[in-house]
C-alpha cells in the first residue's frame, strides 16, 4: 500500500549506526561505505546526520565511534533498571517491616538526595521525592554515604558542607565523627547515634557488580513498648540481605 514503504534513508542510517557500534575499534568512512555497499557521498551525509544527533562521533584518529548520546541513553536506562531493582527490595522489606520508613539515597552534586521512599502511611507505594535532601552530619543515610564515599566525593561533600558550620551541633569534634565513620565502614552498617532511645535509624551501603559504592538504603522505626530493641537486629539482617541481592545488579 502506498505510504507504508519503509524510509530507506532511515534504514541505511540505522545500518551505519549498528555497524559502527559493533566495531569498538572504530571505522573509517570508506570502510563503512564498502561494508554496506553504499557510495561515499551517501555514507558521508548519513554519518553527518548521525553525528549531529550525537549517535556517532569522530575520533582524533579519523575513525567513527558510538557517540555520547547513545552512551548516555544506555547509562540512563541502566540507572532506571537499577532503581527498579532497589524499589522491589524496598517493597519486600516494607512487607516484612510495615512500620518502617525506607529510603534510598545517592550523592548528587554534593547533596544527599532521596531518590526512593516508602512510608507506613502509604504501604507498598514507592515514592520518588522531587526535592528531598538529608542533612550530611545528622541523617544516618547521609553519614553512611560520607563513610563510603571515595576520597574525591568525600572531599567535595566536606567542602560544600563545612563541619564547623553544619556539624558542630551534632558532634563534639571531627575526631568523634571520623571515629564513628570508621566504625561504619568496619561494620558495614550505619546506626544513628542520635535519639536512639525513641527510634531505630540505620542504613546499609549498596554496591555495583564491580564493587563500586552506589548509594545507601535507610530505615527508620519509632520504638514502642511492643517494638523492642531486638527489632533492630532483625532489621539489620534483612537490610544486609537486600544489599547483597542488589550487589549483583548492574
**Interval 131-149: pLDDT, tens:** 999 999 999 999 999 999 9
Q: The domain containing residue 12 runs over which residues? A: 8-66
Average per-residue pLDDT for the chain: 90
In whole angstroms, give the CA distance from residue 139 to residue 86: 20
Among 240, 231, 244, 216, which Cα is nearest to 104's?
216
Tell me which of 37, 66, 95 is where a domain ends: 66
Does a structural domain hold residue 105? yes
CA-CA distances (angstroms) from residue 151 to 133, 147, 156, 204, 250?
Answer: 21, 10, 9, 19, 23
Both 34 and 144 in one domain: the answer is: no
Which residue's C-alpha cell is 574525591?
152
| % pLDDT > 70, the chain | 94
Cell of 84: 527498579
The predicted pLDDT at position 68 comes to 83
Does a structural domain hold residue 71? no
Q: How confident is the model at residue 1 (pLDDT cuts 50, 70, 90)?
A: very low
Rounded mean pLDDT, 61-68: 90
Both 154 and 219 in one domain: the answer is: yes
Both 132 and 226 in one domain: the answer is: yes
pTM exceeds 0.85 for this model: no
Q: How confident is the model at residue 195 (pLDDT cuts 50, 70, 90)?
A: confident
Amino acid at each position: 500500500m502506498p505510504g507504508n514503504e519503509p524510509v530507506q534513508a532511515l534504514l541505511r542510517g540505522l545500518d551505519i549506526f549498528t555497524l559502527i557500534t559493533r566495531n569498538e575499534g572504530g571505522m573509517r568512512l570508506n570502510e563503512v561505505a564498502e561494508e554496506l555497499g553504499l557510495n561515499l557521498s551517501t555514507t558521508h551525509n548519513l554519518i553527518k546526520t548521525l553525528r549531529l544527533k550525537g549517535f556517532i562521533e569522530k575520533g582524533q584518529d579519523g575513525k567513527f565511534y558510538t557517540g555520547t548520546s547513545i552512551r548516555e541513553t544506555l547509562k540512563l536506562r541502566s540507572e532506571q533498571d537499577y532503581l527498579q531493582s532497589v524499589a522491589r527490595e524496598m517493597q519486600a522489606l516494607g512487607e516484612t517491616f510495615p512500620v518502617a520508613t525506607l529510603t534510598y539515597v545517592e550523592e548528587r552534586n554534593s547533596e544527599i538526595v532521596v531518590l526512593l521512599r516508602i512510608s507506613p502511611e502509604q504501604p507498598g507505594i514507592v515514592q520518588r521525592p522531587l526535592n528531598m535532601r538529608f542533612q550530611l552530619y545528622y541523617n544516618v543515610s547521609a553519614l553512611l554515604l560520607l563513610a563510603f564515599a571515595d576520597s574525591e566525593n568525600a572531599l567535595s561533600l566536606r567542602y560544600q558542607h563545612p563541619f564547623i558550620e553544619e556539624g558542630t551541633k551534632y558532634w563534639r569534634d571531627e575526631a568523634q565523627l571520623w571515629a564513628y565513620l570508621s566504625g561504619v565502614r568496619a561494620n558495614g552498617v550505619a546506626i544513628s547515634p542520635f535519639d536512639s532511645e525513641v527510634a531505630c535509624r540505620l542504613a546499609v551501603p549498596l554496591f555495583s557488580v564491580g564493587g563500586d559504592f552506589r548509594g545507601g538504603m535507610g530505615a527508620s522505626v519509632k520504638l514502642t513498648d511492643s517494638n523492642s530493641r531486638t527489632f533492630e537486629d532483625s532489621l539489620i539482617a534483612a537490610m544486609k540481605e537486600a544489599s547483597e541481592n542488589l550487589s549483583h545488579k548492574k
